């Protein structure tokens, strides 16, 4: 194994291949606080990419209700148990990653879901209280909080799927860091399915190869955001390219959110993959749960997000989410207006941070009548 | 009188036992391709009955990660027949469970025969060869055999209770069997679109491959192969036919190695049981 630097862990770690960062890294920020689990993203992806024979069960994009939801079943807690949920010392991870804890004879610490683990997406996830008298689906002591976690492939800097494949059928594009399965080379060993901790590679029983989210790369190549981003009803997502912390640019929307404001965090950074989908953590769940999912920066991220109303730049940038199909790789705020731009600085979209508010009195003196304002 | 009875009875039991058993093939210390006018038609062809048998001991793949953690199939019984042009191998091994469906988390029974690309005094590494020392492989899979035997090309053949309301290629606007319809189906079958269909209807249950070390396996259209496999009472019997290795003739030797994958043990790819090299000889043609 080679030694590579993982900035999310604040240290070097072991990886199957030497460090080789792409020219640009596809990345995204998801605001969990805005997701309503309408599953429009799931369907946008499903109809675009996985409507064929053998793809029936595949969800390159899924939305699960945390803490109990997961697809495939228990993908998260199973692996957390296996790596014994390592500890952090400040911003440095002191536990072992899935590469460092790989047993003898294995490339990564992993597990392979069984057919039944894919059989019940979203079943029973939203039963959050004990008030379901008849037909209760779960007997677990559900807590009175939950949130929705939308997931796609993280197009990791150190992908476990890529490390797991014994014949090098998975590659990371040097031009944008998107991780793909070479469909001409894959022989369906399912090692990538076993290795990916996020379980975002799926075996197709009709073609006999494994398939995964491709970040809609034909759209990325045209400067457009992927399907699950542009179809998002809640406007929770923004796609773009992320630099390493030492090269962070304040005018790059993702750099600003991830590196400068540190309001968006990776999912299960302790696995060691340096995943590139970043989440603004939910503000209303126990801090310990947020820390387990998003690492030691979770508490500060929640506080930063809560105070966004006082931070015009952060509030402005959050307003750009979902406002254009184009990739906004630059941004700026002027007064109450925030502008999304492409690499050349050309304006793509212009959004007011605060909408004009009109307060209507209950009595209309012109019509001389009383109106009932519906909430 | 009583003493005579005591001697005759065990003798009768032994005689009956011997008569009830098929004659076991002669065991050899190398794989000998027996000369015959024609090759057997199947792994159950009577032509195999008198062919000497080589017992190939198997060990877990132990060279590269991922390795096979626990040994499974301990040995494979090998026979070979040649017609002077081609050589047919029959592999038989014990496997109590038939696994012929590859699906998420499920693996299939399979086997392979490997020979060095050319005759050489020191064969390359038996673990799929090495750089500059290539190997040719014939690979058989139980699910491919099931497709060849007529498994239907739909998801119900894998998940009998599956219900699918609509696939885009079934849209009414697309004429069944038309190029447009096929094109639409390919859009949602990326492996198909690049000619790497590893499942679904096939003409053959075997594949011709070459390799120069682990992870280098590639298709080998230059070597034509065929074969078939049947489920036996306690395992599999598989016949694989390929051209005689180049340069192999009576009084010459090359090497041959074998691998078996047990689906029930979740074996696939590098997780397999494999043998070391065994000598492969060709019997001189009978006058």
Contacts of A63 (CB under 8 A, 6+ apart): A35, A37, A39, A41, A42, A122, A148, A149, A150, A151
B19-28, B95-104, B148-157, B267-276: the lowest-pLDDT one? B19-28
B142: chain A residues, CB-CB within 8 Å: none
Is pLDDT of B21 > 70? no
Q: Are strands A26-31 and A237-241 parallel, antiparallel or unpaired?
A: antiparallel
Percent of chain B with pLDDT over 70: 91
How many Å apart are CA A29 and CA A16, to the nearest integer?
27
What is the predicted pLDDT for the residue at B287? Answer: 58
Cβ contact, residue pair B191, A208, below 8 Å: yes
What is the predicted pLDDT for the residue at A139? Answer: 52
User: In terms of Cα–Cα distance, which of B282, B275, B279, B266 is closest to B68?
Assistant: B266
Q: Which of B105, B166, B167, B268 to mutate to test the interface with A (most CBs of A within 10 A)?
A: B105
Nearest chain B residue to A111 by CA: give it. Answer: B105
pLDDT, tens digit, for every residue of B216-255? 999 999 999 999 999 999 999 999 999 999 999 999 999 9
B68: chain A residues, CB-CB within 8 Å: 105
Q: Which of A102, A113, A204, A216 to mutate to test the interface with B (most CBs of B within 10 A)?
A: A204
Cβ contact, residue pair B269, A164, below 8 Å: no
For residues B26-34, average pLDDT: 95
Q: Are strands B31-35 and B75-82 parallel, antiparallel or unpaired?
A: parallel
Nearest chain B residue to A106 by CA: give it. Answer: B66
A1: chain B residues, CB-CB within 8 Å: none
Neighbours of A43 (CB within 10 A): 14
Q: Give the phi and the psi of residue B217 in degrees, each rounded to 5.
A: -55, 130
B169: chain A residues, CB-CB within 8 Å: 52
For residues B157-163, average pLDDT: 92
DSSP calls for B67-133: PPSS----EEEEEEEE-SSEEEEEEEEE-SS-----BTTB---EEEEEEESS--SS---TTT-BTTB
Is pLDDT of B15 > 90? no
Contacts of B163 (CB under 8 A, 6+ apart): none
Q: Which of B65, B101, B196 is opposite residue A105, by nearest beta carbon?
A: B65
Residue A297, CA atoms < 13 Å, CB-side half-sphere: 29
Cβ contact, residue pair A207, B189, below 8 Å: yes
Cβ contact, residue pair A105, B69, below 8 Å: yes
Where is pLDDT greater, at A359 or B59?
B59
Nearest chain A residue to B200 by CA: give it. Answer: A206
Tokens of B104: 């998420």
Does residue B56 contact residue B76 with C-beta atoms inside 8 Å? Answer: yes
Closest-CA distance of chain A to residue B259, Å: 16
Cβ contact, residue pair B196, A112, below 8 Å: no
For residues B59-78, average pLDDT: 96
What is the predicted pLDDT for the residue at B4? Answer: 54
Where is pLDDT greater, at A374 or B164?
B164
Q: Which residue has the tokens 């979209």?
A: A349
Q: Which of B66, B105, B199 is opposite residue A206, by nearest beta carbon?
A: B199
Does residue B43 contact residue B239 with C-beta atoms inside 8 Å? Answer: yes
How many Å apart are CA A37 and CA A86, to the nearest integer?
30
Which stretches in chain A have pLDDT values below 70? 85, 127-143, 373-375
How many Å apart are CA A345 and CA A330, to the nearest integer?
7
Is pLDDT of B197 > 90? no
How many Å apart are CA B179 and CA B8, to the nearest integer?
77
What is the predicted pLDDT for the residue at B23? Answer: 66
For residues B4-29, average pLDDT: 59
What is the predicted pLDDT for the residue at B68? Answer: 96
The H or E element that residue B56 is part of is strand B53-57
Neighbours of A298 (CB within 10 A): 21
Closest-CA distance of chain B to residue A225, Å: 20
Cβ contact, residue pair A183, B268, below 8 Å: no
Cβ contact, residue pair A55, B269, below 8 Å: no
Nearest chain B residue to A169 by CA: give it. Answer: B215
Is pLDDT of B1 > 50? no
Closest-CA distance of chain A to residue B187, Å: 8
What is the 3-state secondary structure of chain A?
CEEEEECCCCEEEEECCCCCCCCCCEEEEEEHHHCCCCCHHHHHHHHHHCCCCCCCCCCCCEEEEECCCCCCCCHHHHHHHHCCCCCEECCEECCCCCCCCCCCCCCCCCCCCCHHHHCCCCCCCCCCCCCCCCCCCCCCCCCCCCEEEEECCCCCCCCHHHHHCCCCCEEECCCCCCEEECCCCCCCCCHHHHHCCCCCEEECCCCCCEEECCCCHHHHCCCECCHHHHCCCCCCEEEEECCCHHHCCCCCHHHHHHHHCCCCEECCHHHCCCCCEEEECCCCCCHHHHHHHHCCCHHHHHHHHHCHHHCHHHHHHHHCCCCCCECCCEEEEECCEEEEECCCCCEEEEEECCCCCCCCCCEECCCCEECCCCC
Confidence of residue B20 (pLDDT cuts 50, 70, 90): very low
CA dihedral A258, A263, A266, A269 (to 10 degrees): 100
Q: What domains are there in chain A, each with its CATH number?
A: 2-22+30-122+143-220 (3.30.70.20)
Q: Hey, where are the domains in chain B?
A: 23-152+200-282, 154-196
What is the predicted pLDDT for the residue at A290? Answer: 97
Is pLDDT of B16 > 60? no
CATH architecture of B23-152+200-282: Sandwich (2.60)
B155: chain A residues, CB-CB within 8 Å: 53-54, 56, 205-206
- Reduced to 3 states (helix: H, G, I; strand: E, B; else coil), residue B19 is helix
What is the predicted pLDDT for the residue at A76? Answer: 95
């Amino acid at each position: 194994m080679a030694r590579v630097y993982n900035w999310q862990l604040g240290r070097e770690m072991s990886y199957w291949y030497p460090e080789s960062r792409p020219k640009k890294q596809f990345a995204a920020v998801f605001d969990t606080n805005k997701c309503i689990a309408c599953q429009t993203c799931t369907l946008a992806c499903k109809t675009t990419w996985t409507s064929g024979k053998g793809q029936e069960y595949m969800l390159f994009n899924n939305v699960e209700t945390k803490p109990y939801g997961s697809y495939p079943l228990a993908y998260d807690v199973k692996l957390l148990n296996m790596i014994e949920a390592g500890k952090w010392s400040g911003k440095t991870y002191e536990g072992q990653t899935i590469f460092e804890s790989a047993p003898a004879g294995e490339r990564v610490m992993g597990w392979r879901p069984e057919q039944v683990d894919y059989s019940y997406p979203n079943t029973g996830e939203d039963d959050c209280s004990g008030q379901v008298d008849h037909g209760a689906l779960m007997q677990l002591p559900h807590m009175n909080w939950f949130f929705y976690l939308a997931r796609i492939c993280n197009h990791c800097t150190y992908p476990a799927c890529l490390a797991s494949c014994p014949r090098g059928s998975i590659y990371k594009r040097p031009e944008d860091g998107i991780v793909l399965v070479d469909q001409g080379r894959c022989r369906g060993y399912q090692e990538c399915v076993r290795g990916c901790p996020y379980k975002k590679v799926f075996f197709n029983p009709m073609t006999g190869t494994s398939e995964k989210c491709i970040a809609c790369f034909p759209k990325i190549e045209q400067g457009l955001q992927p399907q699950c981003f542009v179809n998002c009803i809640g406007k929770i997502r923004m796609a773009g390219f992320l630099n390493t912390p030492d090269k962070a640019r304040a005018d790059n929307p993702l750099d600003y959110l991830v590196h400068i404001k540190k309001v968006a965090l990776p999912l299960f950074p302790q696995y060691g993959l340096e995943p590139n989908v970043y989440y603004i953590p939910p503000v209303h769940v126990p801090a310990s749960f947020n820390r387990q999912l998003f690492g030691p920066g979770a508490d500060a991220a929640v506080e930063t997000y809560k105070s966004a109303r006082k931070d015009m730049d952060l509030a402005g940038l959050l307003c750009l989410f979902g406002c254009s199909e184009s990739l906004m790789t630059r941004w700026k705020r002027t007064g109450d207006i925030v502008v999304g731009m492409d690499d050349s600085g050309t304006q793509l979209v212009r959004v007011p941070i605060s909408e004009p508010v009109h307060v209507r009195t209950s009595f209309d003196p012109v019509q001389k009548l009383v109106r009932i304002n519906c909430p | 009188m009583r003493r005579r009875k005591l001697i005759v009875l065990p003798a009768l039991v032994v005689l009956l036992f011997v008569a009830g058993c098929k004659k076991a093939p002669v065991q050899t210390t190398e794989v000998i391709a027996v000369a015959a006018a024609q090759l057997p038609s199947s792994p159950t062809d009577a032509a195999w009955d008198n062919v000497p048998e080589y017992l190939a001991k198997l060990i877990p793949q132990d060279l590269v990660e991922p390795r096979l953690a626990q040994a499974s199939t301990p040995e494979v019984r090998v026979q070979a027949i040649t017609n002077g042009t081609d050589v047919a191998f029959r592999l038989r091994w014990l496997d109590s469970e038939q696994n012929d469906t590859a699906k998420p988390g499920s693996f299939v029974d399979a086997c392979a025969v490997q020979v060095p690309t050319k005759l050489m005094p020191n064969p390359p590494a038996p673990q799929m060869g090495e750089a500059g020392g290539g190997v040719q492989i014939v690979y058989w899979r139980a699910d491919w055999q099931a497709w060849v035997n007529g498994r239907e090309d739909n998801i119900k053949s894998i998940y009998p209770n599956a219900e699918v309301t609509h696939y885009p290629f079934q849209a009414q606007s697309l004429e069944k069997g038309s190029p447009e319809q096929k094109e639409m189906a390919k859009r949602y079958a990326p492996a198909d679109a690049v000619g790497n269909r590893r499942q679904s209807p096939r003409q053959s249950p075997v594949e011709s491959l070459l390799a120069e070390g682990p992870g280098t396996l590639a298709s080998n259209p230059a070597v034509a192969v065929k074969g078939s496999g049947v489920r036996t009472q306690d395992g599999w019997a598989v016949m694989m036919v390929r051209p005689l290795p180049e340069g192999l003739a009576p009084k010459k030797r090359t090497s041959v190695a074998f691998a078996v994958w047990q689906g029930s043990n979740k074996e696939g790819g590098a997780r397999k049981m494999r043998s070391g090299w065994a000598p492969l000889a060709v019997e001189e043609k009978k006058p």
